[in-house]
Amino acid sequence: MSSSAAALRLSSPLPLASSCGRRRRRGRAAAFSIRCGIGDLIGGDLVRPDLGRWLDDVEKHKALAVYSPHEGGYEGRYLNRLRYKGYRFLDLTARGLGDPESTLTKIHPVCPPHLGRQPIARWYFPPEVDYRLSLLHPDAIGLVVWIIEAKVLSKAELQFLALLPSLRPKVRVIAECGNWRKFVWKPLKEIAGLSPGGELETSGSQQ
């Protein structure tokens, strides 16, 4: 071996490829191709066999906590399926929502920023849910209150949202309570600590 080739071998930061290394890489590639599913090849948004179960659970539980992937976009297919069925939507963010009971079902005050010089004013707004229900088209089935960033809400606020469909029968509630590797959902009463009958679940026996 010449001195220049030996110097190149010693100074190279990466080991030179060998037949054994190539075999190991081919084995890892083959194992990866076996683990891939059909959703990895054609796109996860095109494979949704659970849309029928989604519609059934919305009608059954009336309030759901959903968990979507971090990259987003998957929830749009489920939203559109509810829209095709005849629902109208009220999109809200949990940040800055205030008291959900007052904002959604009661006349509530809103104080705009006064910037230090203007007098402190107070404006009164109608209840968001009742106002939207009064404007529903006769052909609409109901109103879906879709709340993003619901993970910042307290358990008491989630409990009110879980009970809102019982107060307004034409309302359905979808709360984005976090993220997961795929789009999943659970009854909001279960997440908020309510029993199916709407009562608080307690651990242990009552004295």
Domain at 105, CATH number: 3.40.50
On whether residue 7 sits in a domain, the answer given is: no
On whether residue 29 sits in a domain, the answer given is: yes
Q: In terms of pLDDT, which residue wins out, 133 or 6?
A: 133
Residues 27 and 71 in one domain: no
On whether residue 207 sits in a domain, the answer given is: no
CA angle 26, 29, 32 (to 5 degrees): 150
User: Domain end: 6, 26, 44, which one?
Assistant: 44
Residues 53 and 124 in one domain: yes
Q: What is the DSSP string of 129-168?
A: HHHHHHT--TT--EEEEEEESGGGS-HHHHHHHHHHHHHS
**Predicted TM-score of the model (pTM):** 0.72
Residues 74 and 24 in one domain: no
Query: Which of 37-41, 96-100, 158-162, 170-174 has the lowest average pLDDT?
Result: 37-41
Compute, in degrees rounded to 10, the torsion defined by CA atoms 57, 58, 64, 66: 80
In percent, the amount of the chain with pLDDT more than 90 equals 50
Residues 93 and 135 in one domain: yes
Average pLDDT over residues 146-164: 95
On whether residue 198 sits in a domain, the answer given is: no
* Sequence-distant (≥ 6) Cβ neighbours of residue 165 within 8 angstroms: 62, 63, 171, 172, 173
| H or E element at residue 110 | strand 108-110
Judge whether residue 164 has pLDDT over 90: yes
Classify residue 43 as left (phi > 0), alpha (psi -120 to 50) or beta: left
What token pair was written down for 178?
């976090």
On whether residue 129 sits in a domain, the answer given is: yes
Residues 32 and 84 in one domain: no
Instruction: Give the total number of structural domains in the chain.
Output: 2
At 41-95, the pLDDT tens digits run: 555 555 567 888 999 999 999 999 999 988 878 888 899 999 999 999 999 999 9
Residue linked to tokens 């307690």: 202
Residues 117 and 59 in one domain: yes
On whether residue 197 sits in a domain, the answer given is: no
On whether residue 95 sits in a domain, the answer given is: yes
Residues 34 and 55 in one domain: no
Query: What confidence category does residue 159 fall into, taking pLDDT thresholds of 50, 70 and 90?
Result: very high
Residue-number span of the structural domain to which 178 is assigned:
48-192
Judge whether residue 110 has pLDDT over 70: yes
On whether residue 122 sits in a domain, the answer given is: yes
What token pair was written down for 143?
């109103």
Residues 116 and 179 in one domain: yes
Residues 93 and 125 in one domain: yes
